[in-house]
Amino acid sequence: MDPHFWHDKWHQQQIGFHQQQINPFLAHYWPQLALPAASRVFVPLCGKSLDMCFLAEQGHQVIGCELNDLAVQQFFSDNQLAMTRTSADEHQHYHTEQISLYQGDIFSLDPRITADVAGFYDRAALIAWPEEMRLAYVRQLASLLPPGCVGLLITLDYPQEALNGPPFAVSPTWIEAHCSEDFEIQLLDCQDVLADNPRFINKGVAWLNEAAYLLRRK
């Protein structure tokens, strides 16, 4: 996606992708990763997600990367967190005691920042990319994660022809075909969540599956 697309969405506050509560799959399945409390956890394309607060509450050191500056600032202001801002090469670094967010392009993020992360969490990153750009993101994510790093991936799948993304439909077949080179993959759950998503209902989408995967970097 063109970066201007996302900057415009945040500027106009057209952020329907932002959830007002912790993702249920995250709360339910995160313990299965069995990460020690003090582990460093990477959240790509993090926005101002409340899920980062959940991860911090588990004792983790959270590292996020987000393209839009307003999203990062709103995360700290919405959660009444004092933060410090410094420059980190091409990125702006906003940090507080347990949460450290790098504002800028994930494709230029210094891999040293994530070199020792033990876990990662992707709810809105993979599904934000159209298919022609998605594989490049998977390869970049893999390049930022050390071997053995374990993560929770949450996707949406639906008849793509029924609705223009984002979020874009990502099928289990696509995950297996394009992620298995870099990750061991375990499907944890898949549920039809159409009834909870009026935007999809109003567009006549016949079904909407939300899936949770456990991924381990090879």
- Each residue's pLDDT, cut to its tens digit, for the chain (218 residues) gives 566 665 576 566 655 555 678 999 999 999 999 999 999 999 999 999 999 999 999 999 999 999 999 999 999 999 999 999 999 889 999 999 999 999 999 999 999 999 999 999 999 999 999 999 999 999 999 999 999 999 999 999 999 999 988 999 999 999 999 999 999 999 999 999 999 999 899 999 999 999 999 999 99
| Structural domains in the chain plus CATH codes | 3-12+21-217 (3.40.50.150)
> 127, 144, 161: which is closest to 64 by C-alpha?
144
Whole-model pTM over 0.85: yes
How many other CB atoms are found less than 10 A from the CB of residue 39?
20
Counting Cα atoms < 13 Å in the Cβ hemisphere of 41 gives 32
Residue 60 makes CB contacts below 8 A (sequence gap 6+) with 35, 37, 38, 39, 40, 41, 98, 119
Which pLDDT belongs to residue 149? 98
Residue 97 makes CB contacts below 8 A (sequence gap 6+) with none
Token readout for 104 is: 């800028």
Q: Which residues of 139-178 are buried (b: 16+ CB within 10 A; e: fewer)?
A: ebbbebbeeebbbbbbbbbbeeeebebbbbbbeeebbeeb
Which pLDDT belongs to residue 165? 85
Which pLDDT belongs to residue 3? 66
Residue type, 191: Q
